[in-house]
Amino acid sequence: MTQHPERKGFTVWFTGLSGAGKSTIAEMLYHEFQARGMKTEILDGDVVRQNLSKGLGFSKEDRDTNILRIGFVAELLTRNGVATICCPISPYRQTRDQVREMVGAFVEVYVHATIEELAQNRDPKGLYKKALAGQITGFTGVDDPYEAPEHPELVLDTMVETPEDSLQRTLSRLMELGYLDEDTIMVRGDRLHSGLTDLRVHRTGHVVKES
């Protein structure tokens, strides 16, 4: 598809607990933007920590610094016409609101799943189980707070929606808000990994579908 040089940038900010599905939906959305000829980038929390925020810990101050750094980059990209996708946990409401003010064209998407669901069904490394047993401290959603958004542009409930359902609802909301011209899913089947999220990758370069 042709490039749209006049297209304005915006930021889609996925927030939610670890394992809720933020990176999965972000990766799918990235391919949808690419299929539309849009300039797009992903800022994933774990990937950013390895580069932009290397050396930061997990105190509230360090978490806030990490999120504000992501917000700073998101604002630069947005200002330059890039459809920017961010998917850090971003547990604190006030910090997310600071980023919203900074970016302007900001779409907050709350990716919801309960601690019970995550601990029982989406905990391949056993981190939730360890945190619930007190073996890990400072774990978001267990003994460190996660403040859910009060007025997000969209809530995705990944306990009842498939990733495709969540993607479709995201595209439809972006169309309603005037950021997309249409909301048809354009990329089906296996997707090549963007290299920008921490999702697992096949040797073929495709995203591994988690069971």
Catalytic residues: 90
Which position has the token pair 């810990």?
57
Q: Which helix (H) or strand (E) holds 98?
A: helix 93-103
Q: Strands 10-15 and 154-157, how do they pair? A: unpaired
End-to-end CA distance of the chain: 33
Tokens coding 54:
């290397």
Output 186-191 pairs: Cβ under 8 A, ≥24 positions apart: 186/32, 186/35, 186/36, 187/28, 187/31, 187/32, 187/35, 191/27, 191/28, 191/31
